[in-house]
Amino acid sequence: MRDRVRVGPTLVDFHEARDRVAATVHVTPMENSNSLSAVLGSPVYLKCENLQRTGSYKIRGAVNRLARLTDDEKTRGVVAASAGNHAQGVAYAARELGIPATIFMPIGAALPKLQATRHYGAHVELVGVTVAESLAAAAAFSERTGAVRIHPFDHIDIVAGQGTLGLDIYDQRPDLDSVLVPIGGGGLISGVASAIKQRAALDGRRVRVVGVQAANAASYPPSLAAGVPTEIPTLPTIADGILVNKPGELNFEMVREYVDDIVAVTDDETAQALLVLLERAKLVVEPAGAVGAAAILAGRVSDLGSTVVLLSGGNIDPMMMERVISHGLAASERYLKLRIPLPDRPGQLARVSAIVAEANANVLEVLHTRHNGGLQISQVELELHIETRGPEHADAVLAALRAEGFMPRVDF
Ligand SMILES: Cc1ncc(COP(=O)(O)O)c(C=O)c1O
């Protein structure tokens, strides 16, 4: 088998990595999803790495990479830069193996991720506004101290560690036809795709691997078109875990070899998927971990047969969760924020309330104000937050208000 692999770890490497990480990582559950199966039209299973130790699959690569360091390297310690999941994975792995770890995080890193990384025993330095600035600081630290840099995706031992997840998926669902995998730099998908394809080939089977990127940071399609890893301008995305502007070198070669297709999803689609996973599957998943489910719900993929959706992480801080829930509700038109100009006469608020109640919608918040620049002196504005049952119900509420002469503006 070793000879037949053109790029990256062999199946033997993946099995050895699995032995190395076995004592640390959980074999996470594989759940059925009736809601996603109904949308895709074939069975969908959720691989719950959101329930993995440290809250994401990242610990697999970190443990494998750190376990393979020489004694001298272990004594020098390790250094990494990350805004979240890689930081936690490296910190946890370092503690397990008794290796000193320094993690550079951007100043605005989410508090729960910062606290978890410190809690696992790493020394955390807050440097820079972006991960790129933290990376530069980590590189300088490595130069100064000799600490070994642990790249989040572009290293063969990281890829072999992430690929252990491919082996677990195949063991749990040897009948699968396809797997949907989130992509940032490509460490996760290169390992999973290579391991699962090499393993399935032993049984004479073929598994289709589809990567999913955030539309605001989709570096792979232009890189594949150009034939080389290509840096792209990115925009902010709620899927911060996969906000990477350039594929890794090794990862790019492996994706070219093993990945069948790549699609992208918008933040609205990801927010809606997060809500479905929360409401229907009772799973807390972070935005980067939910893009596979989003690809199904948004109709970006089809004809996949029996499909495993890899939920790669669950580290979402409560403030973000609150924002994503309201965004997801708004995107699926179950939460309407309306601005309605009203003549400044008694009884107008009661009329609007009656219309909304008559339409069976629930008022969540009301703000009645005269202080909006666009208003005339004889007008007030009513800001109304309403819960509806979905797009049709939302349209019915708007139509009922318009039929009574009001001019609601949807503001979300
Ligand atoms: C939750 C989650 N999913 C997916 C990824 C993508 O990983 P990669 O950069 O290896 O493609 C990351 C990366 O940090 C992540 O945190």
Is 312 in the active site?
yes
Q: Are residues 228 and 314 located together in one domain of the fold?
A: yes
Cβ–Cβ < 8 Å for 79, 138 = yes
User: E strands along 261-350, which residues?
Assistant: 261-265, 307-311, 335-343
Q: Hey, CA dihedral for 186, 192, 194, 197, is it positive or negative?
A: negative
**Ligand 1: residue whose CA is nearest its atom 4:** 182
pLDDT at site 327: 79
Taking the C-alpha atoms of residue 146 and residue 277, their distance in angstroms, rounded to an integer, is: 44
Does residue 138 belong to any structural domain of this protein? yes
The residue with tokens 């800001």 is 383
Other C-beta atoms lying within 10 Å of the C-beta of residue 326: 18
Does residue 3 belong to any structural domain of this protein? no
CATH number of 132's domain: 3.40.50.1100
Q: Whole-number mean pLDDT of the chain?
A: 94
Does residue 5 belong to any structural domain of this protein? no
Q: Are residues 244 and 337 located together in one domain of the fold?
A: no
Closest CA to 80 of 29, 154, 6: 154
Q: Is the pLDDT of residue 2 over 60?
A: no
Q: Among 329, 354, 370, give the residue marking a domain's end.
A: 329
Q: What is the pLDDT of residues 281-321, one digit of tens each?
A: 999 999 999 999 999 999 999 999 999 999 999 999 898 89
Ligand 1 pocket test, pick from 245, 283, 286, 312 with the greatest ligand atom count within 8 Å of Cβ, gives 312
Q: Is the pLDDT of residue 204 over 80?
A: yes
pLDDT at site 379: 81
Which ligand 1 atom minimizes the distance to the CA of 153? Answer: 10
Q: Are residues 74 and 188 located together in one domain of the fold?
A: no
Q: Are residues 175 and 27 located together in one domain of the fold?
A: yes
* pLDDT mean over 361-371: 87
The H or E element spanning position 135 is: helix 131-145
pLDDT at site 4: 65
Which ligand 1 atom minimizes the distance to the CA of 286? Answer: 1
Ligand 1: residues within 6 Å at CB? 56, 85-86, 152-153, 182-189, 241-242, 244, 286, 288-289, 312-313
Q: Are residues 302 and 343 located together in one domain of the fold?
A: no
Q: How far is the CA of 21 from the centre of ligand 1 (A)?
A: 18
Residue 87: pLDDT band with limits 50, 70, 90? very high
Is 47 in the active site?
no
What's the structural domain count of the chain?
3
pLDDT at site 89: 97
- How many helical (H) and strand (E) elements, i.e. helices and strands, does the chain have? 16, 14
Does residue 228 belong to any structural domain of this protein? yes
Q: How far is the CA of 228 from the centre of ligand 1 (A)?
A: 20
In terms of Cβ atoms closer than 10 Å to its own Cβ (0-12, 13-18, 19+), residue 19 is exposed
Q: What is the pLDDT of residues 267-291, one digit of tens each?
A: 999 999 999 999 999 999 999 999 9
Q: Are residues 241 and 200 located together in one domain of the fold?
A: yes
Q: How far is the CA of 58 from the centre of ligand 1 (A)?
A: 8
Does residue 4 belong to any structural domain of this protein? no
Other C-beta atoms lying within 10 Å of the C-beta of residue 350: 9
Q: Are residues 137 and 252 located together in one domain of the fold?
A: no
Both structure tokens of 152: 């989040």
pLDDT at site 412: 60
Taking the C-alpha atoms of residue 139 and residue 170, their distance in angstroms, rounded to an integer, is: 37
Does residue 2 belong to any structural domain of this protein? no
Q: Is the pLDDT of residue 344 over 90?
A: no
Reported as half-sphere exposure (CB side, CA atoms, 13 A), residue 189 has a value of 34
**Ligand 1: residue whose CA is nearest its atom 10:** 187
Q: Are residues 216 and 124 located together in one domain of the fold?
A: no
Residue 5: pLDDT band with limits 50, 70, 90? confident
pLDDT at site 373: 67
Taking the C-alpha atoms of residue 325 and residue 271, their distance in angstroms, rounded to an integer, is: 7
* pLDDT mean over 33-58: 97
Q: Is the pLDDT of residue 1 over 80?
A: no
CB contact set of 260 (below 8 Å; sequence gap of 6+): 208, 209, 210
Residue 212: pLDDT band with limits 50, 70, 90? very high
Q: How far is the CA of 201 from the centre of ligand 1 (A)?
A: 26
Residue 94, classed as helix, strand or coil, is helix
The catalytic residue among 33, 47, 56, 58 is 58
| Adjacent-strand bridge partners of 32 | 45
Q: What is the pLDDT of residues 10-41, one digit of tens each?
A: 999 999 999 999 999 999 999 999 999 999 99
Does residue 265 belong to any structural domain of this protein? yes
CATH number of 389's domain: 3.30.70.260
Q: Is the pLDDT of residue 205 over 60?
A: yes
**Ligand 1: residue whose CA is nearest its atom 6:** 184
Q: What is the pLDDT of residues 223-259, one digit of tens each?
A: 999 999 999 999 999 998 999 999 999 999 999 999 9
Q: Among 149, 170, 201, give the residue marking a domain's end.
A: 149
> How many percent of the chain have pLDDT more than 90?
81
* pLDDT mean over 329-348: 86
**What is the domain range of residue 131?**
58-149
Q: Are residues 114 and 159 located together in one domain of the fold?
A: no
More confident call, 55 vs 326: 55
* pLDDT mean over 142-169: 97
Residue 208, classed as helix, strand or coil, is strand
The catalytic residue among 194, 312, 326, 332 is 312
Closest CA to 196 of 70, 14, 319: 14
Q: Are residues 88 and 112 located together in one domain of the fold?
A: yes
Closest CA to 272 of 223, 228, 358, 335: 335
Q: Among 94, 126, 149, give the residue marking a domain's end.
A: 149
Q: Are residues 390 and 349 located together in one domain of the fold?
A: yes
Q: Are residues 172 and 284 located together in one domain of the fold?
A: yes
pLDDT at site 301: 98
Q: Is the pLDDT of residue 124 over 90?
A: yes
**How many angstroms separate the Cα of 410 from the Cα of each of 24, 383, 385?**
50, 10, 10
Does residue 179 belong to any structural domain of this protein? yes
Range with lowest mean pLDDT among 74-78, 108-112, 271-275 = 108-112
